[in-house]
């Protein structure tokens, strides 16, 4: 195991600065594990902030009539909830997972560019400050929806510019983070770790990083045009000068649709690690999983206008985007089937990671199906911009991305913290979340079918009951996340709990389980020798 | 790790803790905060912006100096060299996509929005608008709402063509420099690098003159409807990239003069060269679709 | 097609079942308003679980497609998760399951790629037909332009019976106040009641042309199966042929600023005869109401008229107090309003300001603009004594 262990203590060569302590360790971090932790804590914070905003929305919608906020503030809550969740909570969390796990899984000493890695992280802080701080600017936070459609954005106050700059910075952060991830994967795998032996989490991130690099600059372009339209007299989105508001939507969704897969592919990777571990059986159809992921990524570039069926496209446009969108069901289906085939005739146990993973498959698929229903253009005409869409994307984002992150947390936190979480508490968290999630978001399908538009501060009274139900669910779901924070994450951070063995899951595979728990500060400083399947260290 | 084995190149150099990233991030906080205030009419924002930029530039200088020190100190193995190659390629890909957004905007306005604004249906809203790109033909109003003053477009002759020649030449001189470096003719390399930088600078001057000409004589402005918007944003962002590329080449030249790089290993040089060629290719695209079509 | 009908029957059955469960749920839950509220015919029903009962062919097709999709998806869902749960119960370690060793099979991969491919095609075929039908806006009997304003709808009858009729349709003010109060009375058409509904004849192909004045809005009427964004500077269209008379409701379906939730759509479908009567009456009203733009007004008269215009158009943002709120500028004491040069304020009303944060009001008549300016110049603390005549506005329009 010599290659694996931190040589701390028995080698005099370790410089003091390699083991930084105190605040410098975090502020000046170049260690992928520390940076991963920073990312995860950041995103947890943003999840809480975004969640509180969501509760503001839900509180207002508890009953007809305006009780809690005025309509201006309501729109700000919706917009900021979306932005913070997407750019602050989900994306950085996956980058945090990538930072922690990718070097461990491919047998690399660190990320390819350790300082740039830290830069990617620290860029998030100014961005978050600007974004959250915009609530306190004159006129309040941006209130044009997370999609920031022109020309409504042209009417926003100064906070809109703060938001735009914040998103530029977050984009830069994502691009640098992605470059780091791609290079680490392509160039720093231990000898013997061929691409097709690499854990799927690395594969999904490789493809995600490619998507990020391809689309974040496009978003930057779109919001830059918004900025110049606002302040420098351009007419990109202003028909009076020959521009077109719908052009904004095309550019935005060219980013936006791949973006939703950016938020789900790493989740697929996490689930693909967990299912085999708890089914005690190798992942079924590894190769086809890789191809399916790639297909999803490629298709994701040609479906964007399914968000725009009601803008008035020509028939051919509607048909093309409808067909292309429906095709994505096929590779996604392949993934679902492979997971189930992995479980088939396995020897399953249901610790918390497995519960969340199975919960993920089940609930995500519901969200996938509603996506497919939305893809059918004539049906989408009825459902576009209603709560049906809100239901759809919370099924894929909360029960998809967020659940996978919970699964990943329970699966890998022993490695991160060196202590086991409490299985009972994990189960409480899972079942509580699952039930309250459905109480919150299932009724939204009905609201949407009945025609309740989204981004509404008040609604006709016939919608009252389901809204009340959703609000109750949302507070319950929120409480479960508070429980997660206080009874699971914080104790683990403080080292409370049983010491974790090096490999807490008997059938888990991968190099991360070849190092002690908690993972030492430095791992794989010299490349390890691997067995034939690149899952074990043999020298 | 890192300096673990002095004098000998580590397998993969991992830098120790560094204050540069967080300092750079703080600089950017000033940048975006200042910029946000400035565009909203608070003059002091400009100073905050400038301060942030200087801060940031200073941090970058420190950062790069350290990295160059590591590189020259022999810490960077071949594997790191490969990492640099990958990262530069992906970075350039991201830039390609950034320009794609603006080329896409040009395509959309020309092929969709302007013709739509002038079609029969839309006559309901803009009865007097005749859709002609670039909206300066006889009888055509420059914008549907008549908010754009008449202007003349920028043709390919002669400034843009001169600029094309300049950039193409600079590509050649850069390649000559590269060959010279590989053959270890340092003097020749440096001479041709200076020539390249100079060509880049000339390009920027010519473009500056072109803009001046546009504003003062053609009445072509950023606010000249969607033609002005796409024209200036595309050429402007390109010009900015030329500026950045020129800076890269300049720093590489200075490093060459300091004796950095060997005939075998000089990725700093090559990275800047890739970037320069990328900027060149974007220009060719612009030259065709913005000036000719 | 038989199977499909069976599917859709199954869907309705399922729906009825779900409805029953839903109602049970609602009864146990009951919050304040819901009990006293009744279904709104043509609008939402209490705890409605499904799309609106269709009133056009297209809406019926959409509903059918939705059932069709729903049933296929549910069947797949049950099949797939049936397998999963079977496995979860049978192949668990506590049941003594030993892990098998297989981990790939090209055959099954191909099967579960190809079969879904055919399912997707099966889904796309009927959808294609509907898309084509939906987009065919030719040969309309009646063409109406619907313009989205922040935050109301303007209707212009462009072609067909009723040509020339034009009016604006706004949410009933009392509903807006109820909403603000936080305790709205149980009202069946809460937030759906407008002053002037859009009136159309039954069984006629009505083409709706949408556009907008400021930001994007969307014209939606679920019972007709239409939803079309209204995009400033561009026209888009959609169509419907209502097969039933009655009142049908919809709402603005694209975020358009703070009052997005308060710009409902109410379509009244009348029999051919009633429609003709309505058109007659409307034409008479128009003739009677038309202001003579050449008329020279007295101050008090014009102020009184202006007060109405203000309440209907400006108060939503600038407040009845004229003080504005947040980013909205005050009018009371504003420099432009007090300025002796009347053209400044006229220009702002005609062209808007701040990128449309203050929208252009050029769709108001000269008299209305003159009146509202005169009103603001002579109300609250503004006592300029200035008077703006319609002729001044007309002059500024050129
Ligand atoms: C993680 C994020 C995520 C994911 C994975 C998806 C996945 C999908 N989405 Fe979703 N979507 C969003 C996030 C996401 N979406 C968001 C945020 C919005 C709203 C944005 C906004 O407006 O604010 C949105 C909106 C949205 C719309 C626009 C709705 C509207 O505004 O009118 C549409 C329309 O086509 C759509 C479709 C789909 C489809 C077809 C998939 C598919 O990828 C789903 C594929 C999966 C399955 C189908 C299930 C598993 C498959 C099988 C078991 C195989 C067998 C099945 C068959 C053969 C049928 N989505
Ligand atoms: C990316 C991920 C993501 C996540 C995780 C969530 C999570 C949640 N979302 Fe969000 N949502 C979006 C992405 C996401 N959302 C997007 C993109 C939009 C569209 C925005 C737009 O239209 O522009 C949207 C819109 C949206 C709407 C529609 C708003 C509208 O149209 O006006 C609603 C309404 O119910 C909603 C609710 C919720 C709720 C209740 C949660 C819950 O899951 C949140 C749970 C978490 C917490 C509650 C935090 C933890 C708790 C505390 C810190 C303590 C306080 C708690 C208590 C005292 C109970 N969301
Ligand atoms: Cu108009 Cu929303
Ligand atoms: Cu999408």
- Start-to-end CA distance of chain A, whole Å, equals 6
Q: Give contacts of C 236-265 with A, CB under 8 A.
A: 236-238, 250-262
Q: Is there an atom of ligand 1 within 6 Å of A90 CB? A: no
Question: Is the pLDDT assigned to residue A5 strictly greater than 50?
Answer: no
**pLDDT tens digits, A430-462:** 999 999 999 999 999 999 999 999 999 999 999
- Paired tokens of A321: 């985007």
Q: Distance between CA atoms of B129 and B109, rounded to whole angstroms? A: 15
Please tell me which of the candidates A145, A329, A461 has its beta carbon nearest to residue C187: A461
**pLDDT tens digits, A24-43:** 888 888 999 999 999 999 99
Q: What is the mean pLDDT of residues A321-340?
A: 96
Q: How confident is the model at residue C364 (pLDDT cuts 50, 70, 90)?
A: confident
Give the closest-approach CA distance of B103 to chain C in angstroms.
Answer: 22
Please tell me which of the candidates B35, B98, B227 has its beta carbon nearest to residue A242: B227
Q: Alpha carbon of A92 to those of A41, A199, C392: distances in Å?
A: 9, 21, 59
Report pTM.
0.90
Q: Chain-wide mean pLDDT for chain C?
A: 86
Question: Is the pLDDT assigned to residue C308 strictly greater than 90?
Answer: no
Q: Number of residue pairs across A and B with CB atoms under 8 Å? A: 240
- Paired tokens of A18: 């390699």
Q: What is the mean pLDDT of residues A351-380?
A: 96
Q: Is there an atom of ligand 2 within 6 Å of A142 CB? A: no
ipTM of the complex: 0.91
- Start-to-end CA distance of chain B, whole Å, equals 56
**pLDDT tens digits, A468-516:** 999 999 999 999 999 999 999 999 999 999 999 999 998 999 999 999 9
The helix, strand and coil proportions of chain B, stated in percent and rounded to the nearest 5, come to: 70, 0, 30
Q: How confident is the model at residue C385 (pLDDT cuts 50, 70, 90)?
A: confident
Based on C-alpha coordinates, what's the Rg of chain A? 23
CB A466 within 8 A of CB A447: yes
Question: Is the pLDDT assigned to residue A123 strictly greater than 70?
Answer: yes
Q: What is the mean pLDDT of residues A176-201?
A: 95
- Paired tokens of A124: 């998030």
Residue numbers in A near B104 (CB within 8 A): 250-251, 254
> How far does residue A377's CA lie from ligand 1's centre (Å)?
13
Residues C26, A465: C-beta atoms closer than 8 Å? yes
Q: How far is CA A119 from the centre of its chain?
A: 20
Q: What is the mean pLDDT of residues A174-182?
A: 96
A68 CB-side CA count, 13 A: 17
Please tell me which of the candidates A161, A175, A242 has its beta carbon nearest to residue B36: A161
Catalytic residue among A43, A120, A159, A173: A173
| A394 in catalytic set | no
Residue positions counted in chain C: 398
pLDDT of residue B139: 55
Per-residue pLDDT of chain B (293 residues; tens, 9 = 90+): 344 444 578 888 888 889 999 999 999 999 999 999 999 888 999 999 999 999 999 999 999 999 988 888 888 888 899 999 999 999 999 999 999 999 999 999 999 988 888 887 888 888 778 777 776 655 566 677 777 777 888 888 888 899 999 999 999 999 999 999 999 999 999 999 999 999 999 999 999 999 999 999 888 889 888 889 999 999 999 999 999 999 999 999 999 999 888 888 899 999 999 999 999 999 999 999 998 87
Residue numbers in C near B117 (CB within 8 A): 233-234
**Three-state secondary structure readout of A119-148:** HHHHHHHHHHHHHHHHHHCCCCCCCCCCCC
Q: Distance between CA atoms of A465 and C361, rounded to whole angstroms? A: 39
| Sole residue written with tokens 């049983």 | A498
| Sole residue written with tokens 């309040």 | A140
> How far does residue A386's CA lie from ligand 3's centre (Å)?
13
Question: Is the pLDDT assigned to residue C23 strictly greater than 50?
Answer: no
pLDDT of residue B1: 38
- Paired tokens of A510: 């991968």
Q: Give contacts of C 90-129 with A, CB under 8 A.
A: 91-94, 97-105, 108-109, 112-113, 116-117, 120, 123-124, 127-128
**pLDDT tens digits, C82-127:** 999 999 999 999 888 888 888 889 999 999 999 999 999 999 999 9
Q: Distance between CA atoms of C54 and C60, rounded to whole angstroms? A: 5
Question: Exposed (0-12), middle (13-18) or buried (19+): which is A386, by Cβ within 10 Å?
Answer: buried
Question: Is the pLDDT assigned to residue C28 strictly greater than 80?
Answer: no
> How far does residue C251's CA lie from ligand 3's centre (Å)?
8
pLDDT of residue C398: 67
CATH number for B78-292 (one of 2.40.30.10, 1.10.1040.10, 3.90.1650.10, 1.20.120.80): it is 1.20.120.80
Q: Which of A70, A394, A454 to mutate to test the pocket of ligand 2 (most atoms within 8 A of CB)?
A: A394
Domain segments of chain A as ranges:
28-511
Q: What is the mean pLDDT of residues C376-388?
A: 86
Question: Exposed (0-12), middle (13-18) or buried (19+): which is C123, by Cβ within 10 Å?
Answer: buried
Looking at domain A28-511, its CATH architecture is: Up-down Bundle (1.20)
> Of A259, A262, A266, whose CA–CA distance to A203 is shortest?
A266
| A517 in catalytic set | no
Question: Exposed (0-12), middle (13-18) or buried (19+): which is A239, by Cβ within 10 Å?
Answer: buried
Which residues, 6+ apart, have CB-to-CB distance to C96 below 8 Å? none
Domains and CATH numbers, chain C: 1-290 (2.60.40.420), 299-397 (1.10.760.10)
Q: How confident is the model at residue A190 (pLDDT cuts 50, 70, 90)?
A: very high
Q: Distance between CA atoms of A396 and C40, rounded to whole angstroms? A: 33
pLDDT of residue B136: 62
pLDDT of residue B78: 85
pLDDT of residue C24: 44
| A392 in catalytic set | no
Enter the CATH code of domain B1-76: 1.10.287.70
Count of helix runs (H) and strand runs (E) in chain A: 19, 0
Q: Distance between CA atoms of A161 and A178, rounded to whole angstroms? A: 25
Q: Which helix (H) or strand (E) holds C131?
A: helix C106-134
**pLDDT tens digits, A304-318:** 999 999 999 999 999
Question: Is the pLDDT assigned to residue A421 strictly greater than 70?
Answer: yes
| A345 in catalytic set | no
Residues A175, B91: C-beta atoms closer than 8 Å? yes
For residues B234-244, b (16+ Cβ closer than 10 Å) or e, as one string? bbebbbebbbe
Give the closest-approach CA distance of C233 to chain B in angstroms.
Answer: 7
Q: Distance between CA atoms of A20 and A3, rounded to whole angstroms? A: 22
Residue, of C340 and A4, whose pLDDT is higher: C340
Q: What is the mean pLDDT of residues A109-124?
A: 94
pLDDT of residue C207: 95
Q: Chain-wide mean pLDDT for chain A?
A: 93
- Paired tokens of C338: 């007090």
pLDDT of residue B135: 62
């Amino acid at each position: 195991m010599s290659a694996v262990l931190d040589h701390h203590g028995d080698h005099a060569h370790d410089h003091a600065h390699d083991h930084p302590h105190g605040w410098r360790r975090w502020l000046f971090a170049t260690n992928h594990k520390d940076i991963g932790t920073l990312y995860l804590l950041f995103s947890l914070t943003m999840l809480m902030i975004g969640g509180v905003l969501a509760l503001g929305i839900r509180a207002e919608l508890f009953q007809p009539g305006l009780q809690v906020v005025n309509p201006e503030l309501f729109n700000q809550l919706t917009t900021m909830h979306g932005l913070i969740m997407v750019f602050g909570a989900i994306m950085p969390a996956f980058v945090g997972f990538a930072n922690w796990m990718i070097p461990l899984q491919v047998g690399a000493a660190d990320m390819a560019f350790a300082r740039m890695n830290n830069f990617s992280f620290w860029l998030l802080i100014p961005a978050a400050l600007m974004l959250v701080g915009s609530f306190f600017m004159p006129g309040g936070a941006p209130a044009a929806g997370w999609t920031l459609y022109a020309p409504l954005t042209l009417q926003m106050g100064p906070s809109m510019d703060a938001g735009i700059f914040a998103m530029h910075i977050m984009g830069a952060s994502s691009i640098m983070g992605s470059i780091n991830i791609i290079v680490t994967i392509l160039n720093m795998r231990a000898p013997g770790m061929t691409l097709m032996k690499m854990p799927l989490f690395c594969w999904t991130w490789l493809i995600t990083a490619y998507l990020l690099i391809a689309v974040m600059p496009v978003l930057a372009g779109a919001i830059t045009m918004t900025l110049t339209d606002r302040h420098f007299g351009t007419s990109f989105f202003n028909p009076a000068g020959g521009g077109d508001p719908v052009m904004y939507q095309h550019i935005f969704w060219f980013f936006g649709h791949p973006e939703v897969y950016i938020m789900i592919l790493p989740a697929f990777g996490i689930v693909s690690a967990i299912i085999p571990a708890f089914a005690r059986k190798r992942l079924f159809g590894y190769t086809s999983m890789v191809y399916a992921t790639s297909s999803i990524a490629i298709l994701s570039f040609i479906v964007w206008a399914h968000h725009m069926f009601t803008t008035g496209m020509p028939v051919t446009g509607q048909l093309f985007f409808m067909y292309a969108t429906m095709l994505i069901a096929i590779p996604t289906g392949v993934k679902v089937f492979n997971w189930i085939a992995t479980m088939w005739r396995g020897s399953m146990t249901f610790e918390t990671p497995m519960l969340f993973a199975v919960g993920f498959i089940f609930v995500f698929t519901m969200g996938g199906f509603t996506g497919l229903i939305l893809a059918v253009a004539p049906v989408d005409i009825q459902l576009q911009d209603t709560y049906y869409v809100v239901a759809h994307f919370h099924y894929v984002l909360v029960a998809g991305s967020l659940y996978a992150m919970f699964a990943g947390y329970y699966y890998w936190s022993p490695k991160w913290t060196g202590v086991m979480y409490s299985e009972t508490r994990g189960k409480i968290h899972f079942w509580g979340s699952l039930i309250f999630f459905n109480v919150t978001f299932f009724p939204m399908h009905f609201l949407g079918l009945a025609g309740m538009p989204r981004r509404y501060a008040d609604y006709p009274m016939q919608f009252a009951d389901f809204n009340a139900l959703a609000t109750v669910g949302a507070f319950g779901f929120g409480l479960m996340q508070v429980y997660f924070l206080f009874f699971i994450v914080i104790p683990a951070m403080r080292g409370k709990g049983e010491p974790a063995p090096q490999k807490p899951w008997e059938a888990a595979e991968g190099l991360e389980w070849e190092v002690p728990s908690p993972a030492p500060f430095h791992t794989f400083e010299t490349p390890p020798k691997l067995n034939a399947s690149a899952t074990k260290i043999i020298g | 790790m890192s300096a673990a084995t002095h004098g000998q190149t580590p397998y993969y150099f991992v830098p120790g803790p560094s204050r540069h990233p967080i300092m750079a991030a703080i600089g950017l906080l000033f940048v975006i905060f200042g910029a946000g205030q400035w565009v909203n009419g608070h003059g002091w924002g400009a100073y905050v912006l400038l301060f942030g930029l200087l801060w940031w530039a200073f941090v970058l200088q420190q950062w790069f100096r350290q990295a160059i020190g590591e590189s020259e100190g022999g810490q960077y193995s071949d594997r790191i060299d490969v990492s640099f190659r990958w990262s530069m390629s992906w970075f350039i890909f991201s830039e390609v996509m950034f320009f794609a957004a603006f080329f896409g905007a040009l395509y959309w306005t020309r092929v969709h929005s302007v013709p739509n604004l002038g079609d029969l249906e839309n006559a309901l809203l803009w009865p007097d608008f005749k859709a002609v790109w670039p909206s300066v033909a006889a009888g055509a109003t420059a914008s549907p709402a008549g908010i754009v003053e008449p202007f003349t477009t920028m043709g390919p002759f002669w400034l843009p063509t001169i600029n094309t020649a300049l950039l193409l030449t600079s590509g050649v001189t850069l390649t000559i420099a590269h060959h010279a470096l590989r053959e270890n003719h340092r003097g020749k390399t440096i001479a041709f690098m200076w020539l390249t930088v100079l060509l880049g600078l000339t390009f920027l001057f010519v473009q500056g003159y072109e803009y001046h000409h546009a504003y003062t004589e053609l009445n072509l402005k950023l606010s000249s409807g969607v033609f002005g918007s796409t024209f200036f944003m595309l050429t402007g962002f390109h010009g900015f990239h030329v500026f950045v590329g020129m800076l890269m080449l300049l720093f590489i030249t200075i490093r060459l003069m300091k004796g950095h790089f060997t005939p075998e290993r000089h990725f700093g040089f090559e990275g800047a060269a890739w970037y320069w060629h990328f900027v060149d290719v974007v220009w060719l695209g612009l030259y065709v679709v913005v000036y000719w079509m | 097609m038989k199977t499909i009908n069976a599917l859709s029957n199954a869907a309705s059955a399922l729906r009825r079942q779900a409805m029953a469960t839903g109602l049970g749920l609602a009864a146990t839950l009951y919050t304040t308003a819901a009990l006293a509220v009744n279904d709104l015919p043509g609008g939402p029903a209490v705890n409605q679980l499904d799309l609106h009962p269709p009133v056009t062919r297209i809406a019926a097709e959409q509903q059918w497609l939705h059932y069709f999709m729903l049933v296929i998806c549910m069947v797949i869902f049950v099949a797939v998760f049936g397998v999963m749960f079977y496995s979860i119960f049978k192949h668990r370690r506590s049941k003594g399951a030993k892990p098998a060793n297989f981990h790939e099979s090209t055959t099954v991969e191909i099967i579960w790629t190809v079969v879904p491919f055919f399912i997707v095609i099966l889904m796309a075929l009927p959808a294609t037909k509907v898309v084509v039908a939906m987009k065919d806006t030719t040969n309309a009997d009646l063409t109406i332009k619907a313009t989205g304003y922040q935050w109301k709808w303007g209707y212009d009858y462009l072609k067909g019976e009723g040509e020339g009729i034009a009016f604006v349709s706004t949410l009933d003010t009392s509903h807006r106040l109820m909403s603000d109060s936080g305790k709205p009375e149980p009202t069946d058409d809460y937030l759906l009641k407008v002053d002037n509904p859009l009136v159309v004849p039954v069984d006629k192909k009505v083409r709706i042309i949408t556009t907008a004045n400021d930001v994007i809005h969307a014209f939606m009427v679920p019972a007709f199966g239409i939803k079309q964004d209204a995009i400033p500077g561009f026209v888009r269209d959609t169509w419907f042929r209502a097969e039933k008379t009655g009142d049908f409701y919809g709402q603005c379906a694209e975020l358009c600023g703070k009052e997005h939730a308060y710009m409902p759509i109410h379509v009244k479908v009348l029999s051919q005869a009633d429609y003709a009567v309505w058109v007659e009456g409307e034409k008479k009203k128009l003739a009677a109401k038309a202001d003579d733009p050449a008329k020279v007004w007295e101050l008090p008269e014009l102020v009184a008229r202006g007060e109405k215009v203000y309440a209907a158009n400006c108060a939503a943002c600038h407040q009845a107090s004229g003080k504005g709120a947040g980013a909205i500028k005050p009018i009371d004491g504003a420099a432009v309003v007090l300025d002796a040069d009347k053209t400044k304020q006229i220009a702002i009303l005609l062209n808007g300001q701040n990128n449309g944060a203050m929208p252009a009001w050029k769709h108001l008549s000269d008299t209305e603009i003159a009146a509202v300016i005169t009103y603001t110049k002579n109300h609250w603390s503004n006592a300029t004594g200035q008077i703006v005549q319609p002729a001044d506005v007309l002059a500024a329009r050129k």
